[in-house]
Amino acid sequence: MPRIAGETSIENNDKIIAIGASTGGTEAIHKILRSLPSDFPGIVVVQHIPPFFSRLFAERLNNTTKLKVKEAQTGEYVEKGQVFIAPGDRHMRIRKVGGRYKVEVFQGEKVNGHCPSVDVLFESVAKEAGSNAIGIILTGMGHDGAKGLLSMRENGARTIGQDEKSCVVYGMPRVAFNIGAVEKQAPLEQIPQILFSMLY
C-alpha cells in the first residue's frame, strides 16, 4: 500500500524541502501543502509575488493547511511543520547552523529578472543541505530556478518538476527538465505522494 499524506509520522529531522514557482504557482503550492501533515519536514518557498501579497499568501496557506506558514524573517529556523515564504521584495537563502537550517532574507539585485529569485534559494540549499534536500520546481514563465535545481541534484538532492499538462505556464519546469535538473517529472496532483516516497 502506498503511504498517504497524513497517515504516518516523518522521522527525518534534517530534511528540508525547497519549492520555486512563478505564474500559476500560488494555487500549485496550495494544492501541495494542503496534502501534507503537520509534522512534515521544513519547507522554504520562493514564489514570484509582489510585496505585501507574499504576506497575504502566507496567511492564507497558514489558515488552510495543517502546516505553520509565515513570511520569512532573518534568523528564523526551519523546523518540522514550518513553511517560510520569501517576502515579495527580498531574496531568501538558508544557512546550516549546527544541525539546523536558518533562514536569511536580504535585499539584492534581481536575479533572472526576479527578487526573490528561486535560483538564489536553490543554490543555498544545494550548498547547505546537499543530499538532505528535495527541490521542486513548479509552473512559471522564464528560467529562474533551473540552474539552482541542477546544482541541488548535482549535490545529491532529489528533484521534482511539474509536468507540462498540469502547468499554467510550462517555462521554468521545461528549462529545468531540458538541462537535466529534474529527476522526476509529474503532474501536480502526484507531487505530494512523490515527496513521501523520496523521504523514505
Q: What is the pLDDT of residues 106-161, one digit of tens each?
A: 999 999 999 999 999 999 999 999 999 999 999 999 999 999 999 999 999 999 99
Euclidean distance between CA atoms 102 and 73, whole angstroms: 10
**Where residue 161 sits, what CATH number does that domain have?**
3.40.50.180
Residue 5 counted as domain residue: no
Residue 3 counted as domain residue: no
Catalytic residue among 35, 117, 144, 151: 144
Residue 8 counted as domain residue: no
Catalytic residue among 48, 91, 114, 143: 48
Residue 1 counted as domain residue: no
Buried/exposed 146-184: b ≥16 CB within 10 Å, e otherwise = bbbbbbbbebebbbbbbbeebbbbbbbbbbbbeeebbbe
Q: What is the pLDDT of residues 60-99, one digit of tens each?
A: 999 999 999 999 999 999 999 999 999 999 999 999 998 8
48 catalytically annotated: yes
Residue 11 counted as domain residue: no
**pLDDT score for 137:** 99
**pLDDT score for 83:** 98
Residue 188 counted as domain residue: yes
Residue 56 counted as domain residue: yes
14 catalytically annotated: no
pLDDT > 70? residue 12: no
Count of structural domains, the chain = 1
pLDDT confidence bin for 14, thresholds 50/70/90:
confident
pLDDT > 60? residue 5: no
Range of the domain at 122: 16-199
143 catalytically annotated: no
Q: What is the pLDDT of residues 48-66, one digit of tens each?
A: 999 999 999 999 999 999 9
pLDDT > 70? residue 168: yes
Rounded mean pLDDT, 23-44: 98
